[in-house]
Structure 1
């Protein structure tokens, strides 16, 4: 079974960014949010590559 904290870690997000217990999100909702999210490192690389092509 996929654990939301593991997905959060794989994406490079800070701990409890989405899995904070005070948010009171169900496991399926947390995984849905993480699945629709953007991996920050991947987005930064994409922007860097796209911007370098136009300089």
Structure 2
């Protein structure tokens, strides 16, 4: 969202701003988690380590 999309609305309290944002950041967080976790999951195990299930 552009800067100020919620925070520059006159009269909104911080709680109202957070409520307006809702789950808008969840998809971006999920993508970041997948980019972090998936490469580790698909890398082959080193000798002496167990492979990912």
| TM-score above 0.5, yes or no | no
Kindly indicate which of the two structures has a greater share of residues assigned to helix.
1
**Which structure is larger by alpha-carbon Rg, 1 or 2?**
2
